[in-house]
Structure formats: structure tokens, C-alpha cells
Structure 1
Amino acid sequence: MQPATPRFMLIEDDGDRRIPCRGAGGVFTGPGGEPLRLRGCALPAELLDRLRAGRKVRPSLFSLAAVDRFGLETDLSLVSLDVAEWFPRDDGLVDLLLREPLHDPPGPAARAIWDLWSAGRPAAGNFWAAADRPEWLRAALAHHRAEGPDRPPGRTFRLDGTHVTDLASFLCALGEAVNGPGGYFGRNLDALADCLRGGFGATTPFTVAGPEVPRVRDVLEAAGVTLRAAP
């Protein structure tokens, strides 16, 4: 039986097995984490047969993806499918307790951000202003999908600097200036430099109109990008 409304999808590293689940615990725990708990999972027949027979399931690497209301899957983190306990349900699905946490779990503050994204891409900018900025940038990167070619060189991207106070908030605003609400254009200085090489919506040289924050100007100017104060 397939879960009626899967919220998560386990996807094997080689793509051979996909396991939809209705819910999960231990996802938004941050570093250290806790063992992942999966609820209402539709296991492949061979895996379910092994569990029913009391045979060990060989651990294998999966990615855990969140599934939004449109069925779009977005990777959260990697996890070893190493089953510590399993619990059959009356609906034919199973609950699983794994021995290990996610390899790089998002923090507790990320839960509200991913809940927002589960309804689809943000419809307006600056939702990040009330969120944990590093977790917002991580989620924006995870949800980033190239939509056509980069804009041609010579453009001016105007930041909404209302909530810009530091590097993380500058990058949140820059991502939205280049790629629209919820957009991504770097989560730290190294990632910003990578985005400036192309493939993330903009082609150098271009101009950024926005506030000055420490260390950004050097990275932009090294790539041929002008940072000037917004009028």
C-alpha cells in the first residue's frame, strides 16, 4: 500500500529504491541529531519480507527528501537505512526507527522554513526576515532549480535592504533580487563566488544596488560586479 499523502521520500543512492513515508521525526535536530523515525512507510516487498522473517537488512545510503503539496521532492540530507526497530501498522504500512540520525540535519529553526516551502515557493519577498537566516539560505539552496538561462550581462539587481544587517541577510536579499522570492545566490562568501561564475541566474559583469556589508564588495568586485548604494 502506498501512503495517501507522503510527506517524505527515501531515495536510495543509486536510485533503485524509493520509499514514501507519511511522516518523520528526528529531522530538524541540528548537529548531533537523534535517530531518524519514519512513519507510515511503504516498503519494497523484498525489504518488508526480510523484516517479517527477522533477517538483517543490510544498511544502505539513502537521501531523505521532503515532498511538497505539488509532489516536488527536495533533498534534506543523507541517512543510512539501518533499521533498529520496525512496527507494522493496520493499514499495511510500517513505522521505522533507524539506528543513526541524518548525516547533516537542519536545525530546529528550519522546521517553520520547510513548512513554508511545503506549500510552494514563497509568493513574496522578505519572508526570510523573520526566519533563521543561515537555515533560510540552506533551504533556498536546496530548493533552487535553474529556470532557463542566466540573465545577460549588464543588468542591475536592486536589493531590498530593509532587513539587511549582516552577511547572511545580505545574501538572503541578494538571492531574491536575482532570482525572485525565495531565490538563492550564495549562502556564504565561497558560495557567492561560485554563483558569480554562472549557472545561478546572472551573468557578470552586472551591478548590485544595495547596502554595504563587510567583505562582500571584495568578492563581487573580483568577479567584475559593481556594488553601489541604492538610490
Structure 2
Amino acid sequence: MDYTERSYRQHHRQEDLVHFQVAVEETDLDIGVRKERFSPELVEWVAETIRVCRKPLEDYVTKNPDFVSALKPYPVLPEAPEIVRRMSEAGRLAGVGPMAAVAGAVAEWVGKSIAKRSRDVIVENGGDIFMRSSRIRKVGIFAGSSPLSSRIAIEVRPNQTPLGICTSSGKVGHSLSFGKADAVVVLSPSVPLADAVATATGNLVQTPNDLEHAIEFASQIQGVTGVLVIKNDRLALWGNVKLLPISF
């Protein structure tokens, strides 16, 4: 896969939505909205929404550089910005540093903002998705060189949304992982939590023999509603996860 072109984005795009990309600094989002809601003005508004989302995080990081480098839970003061507190709490629950939740936190912030303008919205940020939908959706799973890659999809029903669908991989992408999973997908109403737990779960997978332990770990975290782990030609899942084959 050519990661720089983010070809994995085809796995979550929906035919009934208009998808467009907005990039601000390091944030590069793929966004889907209802066709009647799309406009050039919306694109400009989303870019400004991203800037508003990033500003308090950037200001906090400038004053607290250890927040970025922490690989373990990093407590913050109650008066910290909301996005910082949500990242810190997600990291605490998952047992990882708060930056493991940053992509999910931004996707959720922007997604909830757009949801005020479009009943259906999908925001993808580096493999981490915020979704709100009025219809059944299918989200394909990219799992690198695994023979299961692009062969299965997760079905998401409207009553499951808003939902975070976050993916971590020890083989694909630029995010830090200490494991070798082809794909770990975590579902949660909290996108930052799904992001952090996907990272923590992926860290546990070195061989296919680690799947059961990884699933058990993720399933014990309050707020997680589903987990899928893929290593080579094997997969394990738990919770509210319905898999469907992808036909060609």
C-alpha cells in the first residue's frame, strides 16, 4: 500500500455521501457528508473548525512538552482544555500516553461539529473514524499483507452511532506501535478511547498466539463495545462487531 496516498480511505467511503479532504498543519481529514449539505463554504468552515480544535491542544503542548512524549498515562489538571482532558482520560483507561488518542480526539471534535449540519457524517483521521449515520454502513478493514486485508467489513447500524471506529497496525502507517498486529480495530462511542485502546491492544500482539490475550485486555476496558484483531491469516473478535465479506 502506498501510505502517502492514503489509499486505505476507499474502505470507509460511502456512495451516498460526498467525500472531501481538508488538511490543516499535521491534521489531514477525509470527510463524508450528505450530498445536499456539501458546499465550498462547508469546506472552508471545516478548515476553520479544525483550527479551533487544534489551538487549545497546541497551546497546552507548548507549555507542557512532556504531554507529547509520554508513553504512559499522563495526568492533567482539571482546568486543562477539554480535548486535552479527553485524551488524558483515554490514555489512562488504556494504559498508554495521551497522544495515542490524538487522532481520535480530533476526528470526534470535528465530527460532532459537522453533525450539527449533516445528519450523516464520517470523519477519518489516519485510520480513526467518527461516524454518525441514519442508515446501515459498511466499513472495510485494511490489514496490510494479511490475506484477510480488504476481504471483510464491519457493519455499523444507525443505533450504534455516534461511534468511533479506530484502527492500529504494527505494519501500516506512521503511528507508534510496539506490536506486530496487521490490524486492531476498536469500537467505542468515545473516539479518543477507541484510538487509545487500539494502540494499547496492538502493542500486545507479536504472534497469532497473542490474539486471545489482546482481545481479553481490550474487552475489560469500560466504554469499549467491540474489538477485532488480525494477525496473518487469523482473527479474533469480541463484542458488538458484525463482520461481512467484501465481494468483488
TM-score (norm 2): 0.27
Q: Which has the larger radius of gyration?
A: 1
Which protein is richer in helix relative to its size? Answer: 2
TM-score (norm 1): 0.28
